[in-house]
Structure 1
Amino acid sequence: MKSEKIGRMREEILTGPIEKTLLVLAGPLIVNNLVQVVYNITDTFWLGKLGREALSAPGVTWPIIGTLMALGLGFTTAGFAFVGQYIGAEKYDRANRSAGALYSLMLFFATATAIIGTLLLPYALHFMKVSENVYPYSLTYATIIFLGIPFSFTFMAFGALVRATGDTKTPVKITLLTVAINIILDPILIFGWLGFPKLGVAGAAIATVFANSVGAFIGLYLLLTDRVGLSLSLESLKPDFEFYKKIFKVGLPSSIGQSANSFGFVILTRIIFGFGDVTYAAYVITTRLVNFLTSISRGISMAMGTMIAQNVGAENYERAKRIAERAMLINFAIASLAILIIGVFRVEIFRVFLNDPAVIKESEVVMKYFLISVPFFNGIFIVVNRTFSSAGHTKKSMALGIFRLWGLRIPLSYAFGYIGAITILGITVPLAELFGFTSRGVFFGMGMSNFIAAMVALAWFLRGTWMKRIIEEKSKTEPEKATA
């Protein structure tokens, strides 16, 4: 029985060795992240053959796509927290009902996002001051991606729900298939191989949408046929307005926070583009490399989220705190090693993707002023933020995210990049003399935002105000033993 499998995993999560359980859960997620980043790098590699303008198109448009997608993805975070905590409390029927309600809600948000995103896209690109060379590529790429958002939403909802049960392997198997489809279709559609038309940037977007649609249909089939522990039925997919209220209460802050952060990256893209295509291309390639080298730490954070949700559901708060602390130490070390590797082999790596001397030279600026802060972001900030959201305290994670981006990153990157001098408490700081109105100031401001936000997040985490579950407070009632 699938409920027996979930029960065994639940016991391991609640009572087993923290490091061992964390690594068992994280293993498939690490593979998943590596495979996803391999695809992103492959995508970057092939688009780079078309030139820097085509290469920049996905990076330019994803902040816009993410802003609207986050409205629905915030509710996925809420669904993850509810399902995980209900399983931790052994309330399996409620976990199933939560999953069904979330899935039906996501279908609605996905459709609305696709329509709104397509209509707003041209205005958003102009607002970001995307250069005339990059604009047509970005418009084409994002339009196709928006049309496929319903598949992306439901596929991601499936992954989050199944992860909440402690099953981190099934979503990875499906992801491996979708990424393989994506990697195979990318060059075929971009360059018109095997008799297909040469579609360029549009081909990359079509490959992504097709692969996500395959994953979405497989995920729905597994949920409807009771093959992944959670079991959906046509009855459970009907609108449940009572549970929608709970999802809105927990999910709305997460939606607002993720949308605000995604829109913040629209502003940040505008700031970076102020220094030209070369600077933005260097930024895109560098961040893709960081994502590859920190896939292990992100997998550990995701696994930690499952353990946090179930332990909070079972009211094992001190164990949840220890789990988060171990994840911080591990992730900080991994991220530090990743940045060291990039620093040593930076030039050789960049030449693989885009043998452009100007971009390679600019990558040194990104490395020196921004990337050294990544261990603080991945090792501390991300872990604390996921701890808050997995515990269901999405207002805290929303506040942290908005503070980092809108309170720190955007003001600091703009100030150090574009303002000649500022006066603080009667003391004038000559910013122009420090950075000379160059991209160095922008990336310095971005790095500072990671350092400061990590320290604030750590202090808030240590206060312990997140150690309270969001499901029913009565913990001594007889648990439900229904099949999950």
Structure 2
Amino acid sequence: MDGGKIQRMREQVLSGPVVKTLILLAYPLIINQLVQVLYNLTDTFWLGKLGREELAAPGTAWPLVWFFMSIGMGFATAGFAFVSQYVGAGNYEKANRSAGALYSLMMLFAIGVGAFGVVSAPYLLRFMGVSETIYPYALAYTRVIFGGIPFAFTLFAFNFLLRAIGDTRTPVKINVATVLLNLVLDPFFIFGWGPFPRLGVVGAAVATMLSNSLGSIVGGYLLFTGKVGIHLTLKNLKPDPYFYSRIFRVGLPASVGTSTTALGFVILTRIIFTIGELYGQTHGIKGFEDVAFATYSITNRLTNFMFAFSDGISMAMGTMVGQAIGAKLYERAKEIAEKAMAINFTILGVGTLLFALFRVQIFSFFINDPAIIAESAKVVEYFSASLPFFGIFSAVNNVFQSSGHTKKSMILSMFRLWGLRLPLSYGLGVLTKDTAGLWLGMGLSNVLGALVALAWFLRGSWMKAIIEEE
């Protein structure tokens, strides 16, 4: 590990001006998030040219993929907490050992997840209640994405490790390059331009898999050659029961929290199809479940664009909070978190206003479907105002994870989704006999979840380093 490089980053994080340092760390992450969202928006744009069913297919696949990835994400969160806190404490040797243990663990886990996902995809999609018109597209897309999971996982681990030491720029360069490649490949594989075969929805998945594979290979090369702050070797990649046990102890609650959250979105997909079908039958509209889910898919893409800014702030805050706690600067960690929340609320407030003002133009850009555009009015009326509150919730959740208090994060995530969003969305949808109830339930879960998260944060029980347990 390059101690000099990391020491300079550490000094900036621990003693530099809070907002300036936050922005310095956040802007590469924001660029990265925006480029990722640009890919998703482009993907939606091209698939919208094929039809409503093709546009909705990736939206059904990603809750499943996210569910399995989120299990590994919990252990990556634990590795991030250990590495960032060791760096904050100035113990670079243990930071490097923790990094190696995390990377090897992620590689092994990803291979198993990929194989299982390819085999189980048909059963999982049926469980989600995916409509017969969307199912064949969703199945083909899902299987290709699961086939590329090992590369996606190792690229994910690379991003986490470098962010833990305060290097937010290097991962962004690689991610931007892979996403741009994805953007270029998308229409060639989807429509069969030039010598490429016309693969339709599968083409979008193939472009994603190839791009992630290249990014993963480049990231691995940088880690194993020591060209970044962390230098992995075969020695520190060997299975280490002691570090694995510590990563599992801290990471298990995070895995449970993130995977149950992802499972919740699998259930939410089923709820959207169910409420859409019930509403369509009640009002004599055939195939309205596809309209409801396509509207949800586009809304997700648009909110992800807004969250690109707030997520970048939250991730940068996580690096600063983790290192501040490792250095036992608890009041600084609290100040960092509070300022990040205020910035997030402001950013998402402005984004929500723009979303409401230009709703028709935005949805029409992706697909000129009067039914979807009409449904989007309910999104603005019943859901969009809750987005700034989700910025607060996300920041608090990130504080708990970055400080290593993953049980708190697990409980918070499960409460918002399973305690609030799923019952409110389904219950209000059935009660109103309208998808307006569905959107209202989703919005209320953001507001109530944020209020509970903020109250818990202010108690300060998260201000304790996990490396003190040694």
Q: TM-score, length-normalised on structure 2?
A: 0.96
1:382 corresponds in structure 2 to: 394
1:379-407 deviations in whole A, cap 9, x for unaligned? x1000000000000100000000000001
1:31 corresponds in structure 2 to: 31
1:188-210 deviations in whole A, cap 9, x for unaligned? 00000011110001110010011
User: Equivalents in 1 of 2:2, 2:465: separation in Å?
Assistant: 25
Of residues 278, 284, 306, the one that matches 2:297 is: 284
1:297 corresponds in structure 2 to: 310
2:281 corresponds in structure 1 to: none
Structure 1 residue 137: Cα displacement: 0.5
- Whether 1:131 aligns to 2:143 is no
- Whether 1:159 aligns to 2:171 is no
- 1:382-461 to structure 2, matched below 5 A, reads 382-418=394-430, 432=431, 435=432, 437-461=433-457
Of residues 459, 466, 469, the one that matches 1:470 is: 466
Range with bigger deviation, 2-11 or 229-238: 2-11
Range with bigger deviation, 76-85 or 120-129: 120-129
1:50-83 deviations in whole A, cap 9, x for unaligned? 1010111111111111111111111110111100
Q: Is the 8 A contact 1:78 1:392 kept in 2?
A: yes
User: Equivalents in 2 of 1:174, 1:377: separation in Å?
Assistant: 28
5+ residue gaps in structure 2? 277-288
- Whether 1:168 aligns to 2:163 is no
- Whether 1:319 aligns to 2:313 is no
User: Equivalents in 2 of 1:181, 1:334: separation in Å?
Assistant: 29
Structure 1 residue 473: Cα displacement: 4.9
5+ residue gaps in structure 1? 419-431, 475-484
2:9 corresponds in structure 1 to: 9
4+ runs of 1 displaced by more than 2 Å? none
Q: Report % sequence identity.
A: 60
AA at the equivalent of 2:444? M
User: Equivalents in 2 of 1:107, 1:472: separation in Å?
Assistant: 28
User: Equivalents in 2 of 1:444, 1:473: separation in Å?
Assistant: 43
Q: Is the 8 A contact 1:130 1:270 kept in 2?
A: yes
2:112 corresponds in structure 1 to: 112
AA at the equivalent of 1:447? G
Judging by fraction of residues, say which structure has more helix.
2
2:361 corresponds in structure 1 to: 348
User: Equivalents in 1 of 2:345, 2:413: separation in Å?
Assistant: 19
2:83 corresponds in structure 1 to: 83
AA at the equivalent of 1:452? L
2:285 corresponds in structure 1 to: none
* Structure 2 SS opposite 1:228: coil
Range with bigger deviation, 60-69 or 80-89: 60-69
User: Equivalents in 2 of 1:454, 1:248: separation in Å?
Assistant: 28
* Structure 2 SS opposite 1:193: coil
The RMSD of aligned alpha carbons is 1.0
Q: Is the 8 A contact 1:416 1:441 kept in 2?
A: yes
Structure 1 residue 283: Cα displacement: 1.1
AA at the equivalent of 1:205? A
1:115-142 deviations in whole A, cap 9, x for unaligned? 2212221111111111111000000000
User: Equivalents in 2 of 1:67, 1:286: separation in Å?
Assistant: 20
User: Equivalents in 2 of 1:87, 1:72: separation in Å?
Assistant: 23
AA at the equivalent of 1:83? V
Q: Is the 8 A contact 1:12 1:21 kept in 2?
A: yes
Structure 1 residue 472: Cα displacement: 3.4
1:250 corresponds in structure 2 to: 250
Structure 1 residue 294: Cα displacement: 3.0
2:386 corresponds in structure 1 to: 373
1:236 corresponds in structure 2 to: 236
Q: Is the 8 A contact 1:294 1:338 kept in 2?
A: no
User: Equivalents in 2 of 1:455, 1:294: separation in Å?
Assistant: 19
Structure 1 residue 293: Cα displacement: 2.6
User: Equivalents in 1 of 2:409, 2:111: separation in Å?
Assistant: 26
AA at the equivalent of 2:439? F
User: Equivalents in 2 of 1:294, 1:84: separation in Å?
Assistant: 24
User: Equivalents in 1 of 2:468, 2:119: separation in Å?
Assistant: 41
User: Equivalents in 1 of 2:91, 2:52: separation in Å?
Assistant: 52
Range with bigger deviation, 44-53 or 283-292: 283-292
Q: TM-score, length-normalised on structure 1?
A: 0.93
1:37-62 deviations in whole A, cap 9, x for unaligned? 00100000001111010111111111
